[in-house]
Amino acid sequence: MTTAYRESKTAVENAGGPVFLATYLLLGIAFGYVLTRSEAVSWFRIQEMFHFQSFRMYGIIGSAIATAALSVALIKRASLKSVSGEKIEIPRKKLGSGIRYAAGGTIFGLGWALTGACPGALFALVGDGVPVMIAAVASALAGTWVYAWLRPRLPH
Amino acid sequence: MNGADARAEKRFTPMAAWFTAEWPWYVAGPLIGAFVPALLITGNKLFGVSSNLRHLCSAIVPGRVEFLRYDWKKAGLWNLVFLAGILIGGFLALHSGAARDVAISSAAKESLAKLGIHDFHGVAPRELFAWRALATLRGFVSIVVGGFLVGFGTAYAGGCTSGHAISGLANFELPSLIAVAGFFAGGLAATYFILPILLGGR
């Protein structure tokens, strides 16, 4: 009976299973490694970028977007299914008044320059030998919590 | 050193540099971008790190806040596992190559020297990013205030550099373009107006 049950499980139902989770873990490890080797986690590189003193970070971000855009276009054209068996779809973000993107983006930008780290980098840096970034992560969680609490009163 | 040794050394240097020096932008950028199709193809998942902050809040202290009351395991367990990987990946990168001085441009070094930053070792200046620095105004603002703004801003904007700048722009979404313009507006404001006052050039 158990075998029959297992066989009848679709790939979609298995998508949260251990094999998939292991894949996400490996992808995360690769991402943390690449982020560190690229020095996109470096406070110094972020400062250099905001001072327009090197093309490097712009080259990284630009070529990352180009690679992702090309892949997304190809995936859409081929109407690919994921390994988990779903049709690949990227839900479009709602524009609304646009205030949340302008205001939220600017607030994040202030934090990005002050910490020298985007959210991915905050976590990579904890592993990277800057343990005090645990305090920055805790504070980022507090920031997200306060946003969640104020959300009904904020313009979106 | 004889000729053969010199040749061997020459041959091995690029391989070693792969682990010690920073990767060129045209290697690093496409590799970072490749995580978008990798996650879509694996499980129809959208690359974006900052939603993990919301998932963590939901898992730890949802309180009575509506935005945090949802099934975080169903929505975000995959992403939290990815996030744990990022931490491990950073650790592996640190321990597979010697930490060294960052090779930023001399112009950048000059600008930072004016802000009182003279130690270019590793990924962040030790004058600012150390436990003892938390008790100083500049350390507290850099770490705690900066971290808070990262958490608040990405939650408000609904994404960060990965979710908006890479995933969103790659899908040609206007909301992401507005958000990214905001990232740079905020970043430049902090760089030109806040940091010079905060760090002050000691």
Q: In this predicted complex, what is the ipTM? A: 0.91
Q: Give the pLDDT confidence of A21-58 residue by residue, as tens digits.
A: 999 999 999 999 999 999 999 999 999 999 999 999 99
Q: Give the pLDDT confidence of A84-101 residue by residue, as tens digits.
A: 899 999 999 999 999 999
Q: What is the mean pLDDT of residues B91-96?
A: 91
| Cα torsion A130, A131, A136, A137: sign | positive
Among A40, A54, A111, beta carbon nearest to B150: A111
Chain A hits for B105, Cβ within 8 Å = 48, 53-54
**Cβ-based neighbour number of residue B121 at 10 Å:** 12
Work out the mean pLDDT of chain B and round it to a whole number.
Answer: 91
Residue-level pLDDT at A143: 98
In chain A, the residue whose alpha carbon lies closest to the alpha carbon of B111 is A51
**Is B32 within 8 Å of A31 when comparing Cβ atoms?**
yes
List the structure tokens of A150.
Answer: 């104020």
Per-residue HEC secondary structure of chain B comes to CCHHHHHHHHHHHHHHHHHHCCCCHHHHHHHHHCHHHHHHHHHCCCCCCCHHHHHHHHHHCCCCCHHHCCCHHHHHHHHHHHHHHHHHHHHHHHHHCCCCECCCCHHHHHHHHHCCCCCCECCCCCCCCCHHHHHCHHHHHHHHHHHHHHHHHHHHHCCCHHHHHHHHHHCCCHHHHHHHHHHHHHHHHHHHHHHHHHHCCC
Residue-level pLDDT at B19: 72
Output A86 or B9, whichever has higher pLDDT: A86
Is the pLDDT confidence value at B139 over 80?
yes
Question: Cα separation of A46 and A57, whole Å?
Answer: 8
Residue-level pLDDT at A1: 41
**Is B85 within 8 Å of A119 when comparing Cβ atoms?**
no
Most B CBs within 10 Å, among A20, A49, A93, A156, to test the B interface: A93
Q: What is the mean pLDDT of residues B129-141?
A: 95
Share of chain B above pLDDT 70, in %: 90
Question: Cα separation of B177 and A156, whole Å?
Answer: 16
B20: confidence class by pLDDT, cuts 50, 70, 90: confident
* Burial of A149 per CB tally in 10 Å (0-12, 13-18, 19+): middle
Residue-level pLDDT at A8: 46
Whether B74 has its CB under 8 Å from any CB of chain A: the answer is: yes
Chain B hits for A116, Cβ within 8 Å = 124, 142
**Is B46 within 8 Å of A131 when comparing Cβ atoms?**
no
**Cβ-based neighbour number of residue A69 at 10 Å:** 18
A14: confidence class by pLDDT, cuts 50, 70, 90: low
Most A CBs within 10 Å, among B39, B112, B152, to test the A interface: B152
pTM, full prediction = 0.91
DSSP output for A22-63: HHHHHHHHHHHHHHHHTTTT-HHHHHHHHTT--SHHHHHHHH
Among B43, B88, B128, beta carbon nearest to A32: B88
Most A CBs within 10 Å, among B23, B25, B55, B177, to test the A interface: B25
